[in-house]
Structures are given as structure tokens and as C-alpha cells.
Amino acid sequence: MSAPAVKADGPGAVLRRPGRLSRLVRREPAIVAACYLLAAIAVTALLWKSPAARIVAGNPGDPDQAAWWMRHAAEAVARWRLPGLITAGMNAPAGVSAMWNPSILLPAVVLSPVTLAFGPQVSLNVMLTLGFAGSAGSLYWVLRRWRAGPFAAACAGLAYGFSPALAQAAVGHYDLQFAVFPPLIAHCAARLVTGRGRPVANGAGLGATAALQLLSAEELLFNTVLAIVVGLVVAGLSRVIVARSAQQGELAPAPLPPVPGDRPAEEALLTGNALLTGNALLTRKALLTRKAVPGWLPAVLDAARPLAAGLLAAAAVFLALAGYAVWTQFAGPLAQHGSPYLIDYYKNDLEGLVQPSRLQLIHSQASAAFADKYPGGPAEYLGYLGWPLLVILVWGTCVLWRRLAVRVLSLTFLIMEVFALGGTLLFNGHVHGWLKLPWYYLQSYPLASSAIVDRFSIVADGAAAALLAVLVDEAWRACDGIAGPAIRRARARALLALAAAVVVVPLLPAPLPATAVEPVPPGWTQVLDALRLPAGAGVLVVPVPTGAFPAPLRWQATTGTPPDMVGGYFIGPIWNGQAYVGGPGLDKAGQYLNELWLASGTGPISSAGLQVTQEAQPAASVAAWIASTKVAAVVADTSPGSPLADYLSGILGSPAVQSGAMLGWRA
């Protein structure tokens, strides 16, 4: 039996049932999460028409590589093991390092049942959908924990989780598009440095989320940590400036609304739990009385103890979860250094901040043409934000500059966006090398030299979305303060919702365009099964997979065979440890086999993108190279009588098996 209706007190009161509002509040997170998930499904709808055979159009190679890593993890889980960090499944017999490649280890392990049941592309499409909804939900949850209002947090989650940067990353960069952990890492770090909650628990959360991000996308962890460091530096400098201004009677810190059951965030920063040293460490009482703190060293030590405890807990948890992976990367086999890409190549075009691509829900033919000309390709066109958001952020920052959260978020956003512009300015498609930007002076340092700077846009978008939440929340509270009839406040909130839509809607993506994956050639599985290879045997597949034509990786990922394969699409070291795409590269013999495959005309030449101009190789050289790979078989996508088939038959004898468009030899 339902509770009787009661009359609320106050003017304009209406009959209501007690508990109805509280039930709605309790269901709010689930409602918001469901809305995010529905929006993510709408964005990926074209993929779900045939999820096992469709990818986002515009970048066919990277999804083939990602599908291979999905299969790698699933096969390990099927044998009750974790996926190997060094594997010869690709680039046999030397192998590849999972830590130097976008191996998406954690998502691949979690989704391994899906991969084993439905195939790797279904898992990738699930990951893509969860990347949108999960990233939005992650920031929403964090902002609600910091007492942002429901409407403000929901808008910010939408602006981050469905941001242009994540929509463009969905074009093959699954590791970057799954940006669920950065808000959680920032949340744990902020709680630790502001003294909210127990330091050890906050530190453990920080270490755990950082480790999970490392095992999902290490590059995104670096970008997140850099943004957090920038935010801490901004907060520290801001505190010093505010403290000195308060002492001189020029500026008093603007208080934040109290948090029930917890200290206000502003007070937490001002009472010494932030990373500050020296005379700048002032208590709240000292700020209010505008006097320096005498004997600052005890205050420093008091503030440092819980922070140190939290950092030690973070380090312990991180090392327990990811220490071996980090050791393998930097001290194990196949360790490498540097970037495989040209420094200062992948960076944002300044004009791209206001030029939406054709993936955006709202764009023009001119803006789409501009984005199409971006040299880094669609997966790296990450800078777009749009005039409405940029204008509202600038205006709101100026109005609310006295608030610490506004200063930290706005400057962090600005600095990360400037870093994303690279070392020299790219404007309207032209590089202006004479103008050196801040990243120019950082890009030669370790770790920074390996960064692809346009990807800083992902964490910059997170800072922008959080700042938007602060601004919307402030406007919502201003609506509550409007005097007069309730209809005035309702109209003000409606106008605020309309303004938020004007800002957020231009950021949203249209349904992502889909295209078919490279199909498995007829006879692939039959030939490999008929060869009856021993467990773990390596196979040389022709065409030999490379970064230019990784389709054989897709064939291997789709079918799960063969277990080990020569060549691949990967990042590996050359003789001096420098990282390159493809490592030392394919041997001349392998290049010549690919040339013969092209000449045979049996493969999808028009879609291969494979350009080989290798001179003819003696049969003895090719035979020696095949022997050096230690493979048990050679499988070629060709037909009897083709130049490739005749050449291989001259080396290996007549094919042992034939099926469809595939020939197989035992080596």
C-alpha cells in the first residue's frame, strides 16, 4: 500500500508522496548511464548491423592490428593464462612486445569470452560502444562525487565521452577511444592532494586506476599524468599568489559551498594538504588574518605525512599490478626507445579547433574538406572544439576567475591544448617553423620524445568538460536565487538548458560510417588444417603482413590460426634500440615474395596499399631466408601457375595442399 499524500509547506506547495523524489535521486546514476549507453549505441549503430564484419571507415589497418591483439589475449585466457607480454605470434621468430604496441591487454582479457564466442571484431565494437558510454559515465560519476549538480555533471559527461577527440579516435584507435580511466585517476589524485578521505585508500585507488590505464593504453596514462602535474603546478602557484595577495589586502579567496560530511575543497587546499613548500604553505587562519605562518616547517611536515603515505600506497599497488609489465617494457627483451614517427608531425592544426570533420553531427562541406586534408589522417584529427564551447569557456573563466577550480581547470585545458599544437605552429595546413611553441623545448626529453602530441586533446577535452560543469553549476545556482514566482526560475533553467545544448550539441558525433573488414580468403582454414602442423608451429604467409598490408593479421585473428606468423604490423626496435614501425623491416626476400604476389594478381591489389619495388632475389637467398624464420609451413594466397606459385614450387617443391585460393607447402 502506498504512503498517503501530504501537503508540503510553503507558498505554492503541492501534494506529493514522500520518498518519490528520493527514489528518483537514487535512480539518477542508472538513468544517466542508460542514456549514455543509448547514445553510444546510436553512434555505433552502423557497426551493429554486422558486428563481426564491420569497422569504422577511414583506417583499415589499425583495426586489423587491434583484432590480432584481441585474439592473442583470448587464446591465452582460453588456456587459463594471461596473455604474454612478449609473443612470437606476430613477427616470428623474434616476436613483438605488447607493452610497446597498442595491445589493449586489459580490455582484451575482459572481453575474451566475447572474442572466443563471436570473434575479435565483435569485441572491438563492444569496446568502442563502452568507450563512449563509459568515458561519459566516468566523468559524470567523478563530478557528482565532487558535488557537481546532476544537470551540470550529465552535460560534462556528454561533452567528454562523446567529444570530437574520442569520435575521431574511434577510427581505429580503440586504445585511445576507451578513455574511461583518466577521470578516475584525476579523481584519486585530487582527493589525495586535498586531503579528502583516507590517504592510504586514495593512494591505493590512484595506483590501481593508473595500473589499469597502463594495461589499456599506456600513452593515455602519460597524457593524464602530465595533465595532473600541470593542474597541481597551477594550483600551487595560484595558492601562492592568492596567499600573497591576501597578506597585502588585495585579494581574498572566494569560498566554495560547504560539502556535507566533508571539508570544502577550497579549505582542503588551503589547509596544507596540497603539494607546496616553504613560506607559501599557509593555514586558512593565517590567510584570513593576512599574516605569515610562523614556523612553517612543522606545517609542511604535517601536510607531507598523509601525502607521503598515499603516494607510497599508490606506488605499492601500481607495482603489484603493473610492475612486471613496466620491467618487461624497459628492461626485458625487445626494449626500445624513441618514437617510430617523425617528431612534430602528428599535431593539431590551430584552425582545426573550429573546423568540424564529417564525423561531427554538425559540419559543413567546407569544414569537412578542411579536415580531410589534415596530413595525420582522420584518426589523428583530434583538436576540434567549436566556437560555442571556446567562447563560453573564455567568458565563464573571466567571470569566475576567483574560484580555484576555475583557475586550475581553465589553465590546465589551455596548457594541454597548447602542447597539442606541437613544437611549431600548424595553421590552415601550413607549418610555420619560425614560431617555436612550448612543446618544442620539451619534445627531446625522455618519454616526451615518444609522445604523439595531438593526443593531448583527449585529456584537454576532459578538463574543458569539467570546467563546463563548474560554469553550468554556477549558472544553475544563480537560477535558484531568482526572486519571485517559481515560473521565473523555471524559465531561467530552460534558457540555461538551451544554452548548454548550443555548446554541447556541436561536439557530438554523427553515426560513425562503417565498412567491411578484409574477408578471410577461401581455403585459408582448410589449408592450415590439412597441413597438420604441430602445436606452436610458425607459418610464413604470403603476402607477408606488413604495416602497409596487415590483412593476414585479420585472417589469423578471425580464425585463430596459425598460432605464430612471420611479419606483422607492430612497433619494434632496430639494432640500436630505436623504435620503428615494423622494427628492422621485412627482409629483401620477403619483400620480393610480396612483389611476386602483386604480380600474380590474385590478391586485393586495389585495396592493399602495398608498394614494393624489390629487385629479383635468387631462389637460394629466399630459401635461406625461409629457413631462418624456422617456420613449419608456407601458405600463399595464390593459385597454381601464378608467378608466385611457380617461384615457391621451385624452392619448396609441389604444394602439399590446395584449397580455394590458397596453396600450402611444408617447409
Average pLDDT of the segment spanning 454-462: 98
Residues 277 and 236 sit within 8 Å (Cβ to Cβ) = no
Rounded Cα distance between 333 and 340, Å, is 18
Position 297 scores a pLDDT of 60
Average pLDDT of the segment spanning 60-68: 96
Rounded Cα distance between 237 and 249, Å, is 18
Rounded Cα distance between 506 and 491, Å, is 23
Q: Is 50 left (phi over 0), alpha (psi -120 to 50) or beta?
A: beta
Rounded Cα distance between 99 and 85, Å, is 7
Position 20 scores a pLDDT of 62
Locate the DSSP E strands across 85-185.
86-87, 96-97
| Residue 613: band (very low, low, confident or very high) from pLDDT cuts 50, 70, 90 | low
Rounded Cα distance between 477 and 445, Å, is 45
Burial degree of 613 (CB within 10 A; 0-12, 13-18, 19+): exposed
| Chain centre to alpha carbon of residue 309 | 29
Position 291 scores a pLDDT of 47
Average pLDDT of the segment spanning 212-231: 97
Question: Among 75-79, 290-294, 377-381, 517-521, where is mean pLDDT lowest?
Answer: 290-294
Q: pLDDT of 277-320, one tens digit each?
A: 333 343 444 444 444 444 556 666 777 889 999 999 999 999 99
- Please say if the pLDDT value at position 73 is more than 50: yes
Residue 363 CB partners (closer than 8 Å, separation 6+): 356, 357
Position 247 scores a pLDDT of 63
Position 21 scores a pLDDT of 58
Peptide bond into 60 cis (omega under 30): no
| Residue 12: band (very low, low, confident or very high) from pLDDT cuts 50, 70, 90 | very low
Rounded Cα distance between 502 and 392, Å, is 10
| Residue 481: band (very low, low, confident or very high) from pLDDT cuts 50, 70, 90 | confident
Look up residue 168 and give its three cell numbers.
575521431
Give, as one character, the DSSP assignment of residue 578: B
- Please say if the pLDDT value at position 46 is more than 80: yes
User: Do strands 571-573 and 579-581 pair parallel, antiparallel, or not at all (unpaired)?
Assistant: antiparallel
Q: Is 601 left (phi over 0), alpha (psi -120 to 50) or beta?
A: left
At position 170, the amino acid (one-letter code) is A
Average pLDDT of the segment spanning 94-109: 97
CB atoms within 10 A of CB 285: 11
Long-range contacts of the stretch 26-29 (C-beta < 8 A, 24+): 28/150, 29/140, 29/141, 29/144
**Residue of 244, 242, 304 whose CA lies nearest to 277:** 304
Rounded Cα distance between 448 and 432, Å, is 21
Position 289 scores a pLDDT of 45
**Residue of 654, 589, 598, 571 whose CA lies nearest to 625:** 589
Position 484 scores a pLDDT of 80
Residues 104 and 219 sit within 8 Å (Cβ to Cβ) = no
Give, as one character, the DSSP assignment of residue 468: H
Would you say the pTM of this structure is higher than 0.85? yes
Rounded Cα distance between 558 and 119, Å, is 6
The residue whose grid cell reads 553550468 is 472
Give, as one character, the DSSP assignment of residue 360: B
The residue whose grid cell reads 570544502 is 264
Q: Is pLDDT larger for residue 325 or for residue 488?
A: 325
Q: pLDDT of 87-98, one tens digit each?
A: 999 999 999 999
Look up residue 567 and give its three cell numbers.
611479419
Rounded Cα distance between 282 and 527, Å, is 75
Calculate the average pLDDT of the chain. Answer: 88
**3-class secondary-structure state, position 483:** coil
Q: How far is CA 566 from CA 312, 539, 630, in A?
A: 43, 6, 10
Identify the sign of the CA torsion 454, 319, 272, 196.
positive
Rounded Cα distance between 416 and 457, Å, is 7
Average pLDDT of the segment spanning 107-124: 98
Q: What share of the chain is helix, strand, coil (3-state, %, to 5)?
A: 55, 10, 35
Position 24 scores a pLDDT of 63
